[in-house]
């Protein structure tokens, strides 16, 4: 695996090394030891979710309150997605900034999203499926959303027609509104905070 940190501290792209032959290919999609060595944090696997979307479906920007917090390891297992991560940690040097990654099933690339960041994606093909490996289980009432079309964030989705969105995402507050409402997590001042 080739693991590299992206423009936002703690966000890593994981590109597997594929072994191919006449039958197809094989690759490691997740290795807890390799991820720990690259990020310096343990990633306990607590839950795995899948989401299937039609082309031009926009999901996100979604986050989880701290506590309980939730890190994500996301990959596309069918189709293709434009994956976007937004730094929502108040006090972070990259607060409000984003990074984006093309996730395609044939490449097997994944993105590690640490606690305190927002995540969303745009499905680029029909029947695209994303897999979320999560560090904690679902806790009702701890999820929050940020408007993925917030003009201040100006996320480069690249769609040419109005995307399909849930009512919840369409009605989500802007980053500024979420900040003023006190919904966003704090940038940890202790470098050991959040390590398991």
Q: List residues with catalytic annotation.
A: 62, 132
E strands, the chain, in order? 2-5, 12-15, 19-21, 24-26, 47-53, 58-64, 72-78, 80-87, 98-104, 110-113, 117-123, 128-134, 143-145
Q: How does DSSP classify residue 114?
A: -
User: Contact at 8 Å (CB) between 99 and 148?
Assistant: no
Q: Which residue has the tokens 């289980």?
A: 137
């Amino acid at each position: 695996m080739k693991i590299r940190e992206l423009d936002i501290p703690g966000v890593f792209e994981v590109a597997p090394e594929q072994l191919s032959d006449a039958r197809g290919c094989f690759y490691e999609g997740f290795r807890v030891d390799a991820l720990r060595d690259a990020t310096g944090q343990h990633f306990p696997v607590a839950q795995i979710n899948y989401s299937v979307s039609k082309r031009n479906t926009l999901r996100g920007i979604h986050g989880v309150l701290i506590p309980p917090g939730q890190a994500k390891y996301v990959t596309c297992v069918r189709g293709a997605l434009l994956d976007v991560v937004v730094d929502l940690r108040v006090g972070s040097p990259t607060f409000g900034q984003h990074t984006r990654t093309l996730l395609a099933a044939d490449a097997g690339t994944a993105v590690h999203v640490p606690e305190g960041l927002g995540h969303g994606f745009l499905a680029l093909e029909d029947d695209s499926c994303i897999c979320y490996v999560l560090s904690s289980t679902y806790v009702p009432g701890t999820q929050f959303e940020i408007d993925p079309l917030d003009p201040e964030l100006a996320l480069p989705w690249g769609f040419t027609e109005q995307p399909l969105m849930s009512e919840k995402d369409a009605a989500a507050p802007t980053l500024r509104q979420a900040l003023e409402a006190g919904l966003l997590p704090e940038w940890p001042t202790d470098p050991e905070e959040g390590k398991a």
